[in-house]
Amino acid sequence: MKRYKKNSDYSYSLGTELTLELLLQRPEEVISVYIHSRQKENEILDRIKGLCQKHKIDVIYSDKIFNIVSDKENCYIIGAFRKYESIINPKSNHVVLVNPSNTGNLGTIIRTSIGFGINDLAIIAPAVDIFDPKTVRASMGALFRLNFQYFESFADYLQSIEKRAIFPFMLDGARQLDQIEIPERYSLVFGSEASGLDAVYQTYGQSILIKHLKTIDSLNLCNAVSIALYQFTKGKV
């Protein structure tokens, strides 16, 4: 096993709870599970070993891989798994991220999205790698419950989904978030941390503003997505 690269065909879950979640949600993708000599015998380890046995997954006792693939000191269990294909459900509600560039932010957005019952994430390229171990870790394993799909352009995305309301979130959004009537089918669209959505997104649907004071330039991307998810799903979660 080697250090993770974007073009690797496998990735890693770095941590105990994360590896348990991997084994529960995606056992068919797991290549092997590594256990560090400092890992104590406990209930969660028993569950992990039990799941490995059930799914005929190799359990390897070795400390070497931890120095190679993990930069956290308190990581004592690693799961190696094959990257898998995923597609979004064209009929369900979506979060759409245009050119997200931060691995941690992407993982945190996935965690919050799954928590609010939005299980489909479209990503418009170029974008950060969803299988980067930092994204996997920041998602706290929510990635393993997610349907996701990369698209070359927003036009490509629109062509592959069923008709719905499109809500681009923009600093010059035409309506305020709390004044939007929530339709049955929608996509919530967000730009990158650095530059937000291009002006052309005003033409794709009802642009939304999360109003804040001029004392800050913008909200943090992952906070903006969280607030939007809360407002759109409240009373339905």
Which residue, 8 or 147, is less far from its own copies as judged by CB? 147
CB 229 within 8 A of CB 183: no
Query: If binding is defined by CB under 8 A, does position 74 make contact with its own copies?
Result: no
How buried is residue 20: exposed, middle or buried, by Cβ count under 10 Å (0-12/13-18/19+)?
buried
Q: Of these, 1, 140, 158, 171, which contacts its own copies (CB under 8 A)?
A: 140
Query: If binding is defined by CB under 8 A, does position 111 make contact with its own copies?
Result: yes
**Residue 224 has which token pair?**
């903006």
For 49, list phi and psi in degrees, rounded to 5: -65, -40
Query: If binding is defined by CB under 8 A, does position 230 make contact with its own copies?
Result: yes
Q: Whole-number minimum distance, CB 224 to its own copies, in Å?
A: 8
How far apart (Å, rounded) are the C-alpha atoms in residues 3 and 26?
Answer: 21
**Residue 142 has which token pair?**
């929510």
Segment contacting its own copies (CB under 8 A): 33-41, 54-62, 112-120, 153-161? Answer: 112-120
Query: If binding is defined by CB under 8 A, does position 83 make contact with its own copies?
Result: no
CB 101 within 8 A of CB 128: yes
Q: Of these, 4, 12, 34, 116, which contacts its own copies (CB under 8 A)?
A: 116
Query: If binding is defined by CB under 8 A, does position 237 make contact with its own copies?
Result: yes
How far apart (Å, rounded) are the C-alpha atoms in residues 89 and 185?
Answer: 12
CA 102, 104, 110, 113 dihedral sign is negative
Which residues, numbered 170-209, are part of the site for its own copies (CB under 8 A)? 177-178
Enumerate binding residues for its own copies (CB under 8 A).
Answer: 108, 111-112, 114-117, 140, 142, 145, 177-178, 210-213, 215-217, 219-220, 222-223, 226-227, 230-231, 234-235, 237
